[in-house]
Structure 1
């Protein structure tokens, strides 16, 4: 028995670089966070250094220019994005409108549930969100060509009535890899997320066949009260312990200040 419990239960790896070393080109990757809040900063940077390209990224958004997933985007590493919000990234808009990037826009709650459902082993689910719009009827532009013509658009989806309300069928999402950031993780991969970082991190983690967590603090198994666990370790394969300096790295998209009044 080790400090982490039975042999093989310790999922901590030496570095972010080691954790993402086997992520292949063409992989699909679920990434936690919302804007720049709660994103796995150092796993993204390690993946940038590792060099994998032609990636499909599933995330609430695609970072901003010069930060987060925006770094992978700027280097041309991402070929397809499944996201809800992309409004603060000029390079994203340029690539999308010039035909360099395939974009599948999905309602935010639907995206979270598609990830969670994938992790729960569900193939699909019905939701009223999007009924009567291009989400259900098809025709959302997924890809343009260099001249601005739509060359790929979303298909129509099945709609059925449940309890007197029309609902659209949405497929769950399972990805090759998931990259998330936790406030606390133990060596077995049980995770706690603080405040708004508990946004897309748990469902993204659930969706990955290989889930990698960067944790601001790593503790021994048993130090986290079971009632406080937001993500069970069964969903996690690798844990990277951040340094105190790395753990303190928490940028936001916009900083708004005003003069103090006495």
Structure 2
């Protein structure tokens, strides 16, 4: 059975881009007689707000979308993610990183072998790490690509790939080879949230039995590191369908940070859900 999901973060109101993505995933599930899940990715305590979650539910209902089963809120499952982190740490695949984003950005400019060297800062010396821990300095858990590669057979590492039924930003389609090194040693947990996006999303897709990840092309590159995490954890690999990104009249893609017009604002202007669905290429729902 085909299982898709829509997984917004409650950090603002939904816009047309969100509506297009939700409708695309919902339609894929309903056309196949499958299941459509709703997940609220609210692991960032500094940006997520309960009122935005309420607004997400209102907007999706206005669009005419329904979902199967209860809504999964990631903030309710931090113990699940902590268990995965403990597993990876016990296997020696993680290391503590006390460097700030500013430190990493500065290192990128100084790295003699280019940005990828800075994106893989590596563990701190043992005495330095112990000193920082004693001082209570905040740190992130990073996945070591060197250790991950050593943990897998050469055939497994070289054979990492994912099935793409949609299109990547450069037209990628079919079996796409994975390039985990492109993301460097990614952060899998931060002190404030306890978990980061890549780990939480791969865990939940596996737990919820998601068979098809339908999402925008802006997340295409994230698939590379997510396939590595799935392989390390022995989780199934979903099929991916990355869809085009909607752009506004100015040619820029819709984004919360750019204060794109929201679905609530469209409603206030008198736009109907039926009209918006038609504009986005979905003539009917239900």
**Greater fraction helix:** 2
Higher Rg of the two aligned structures:
2
Q: Provide the TM-score with structure 1 as the length reference.
A: 0.33
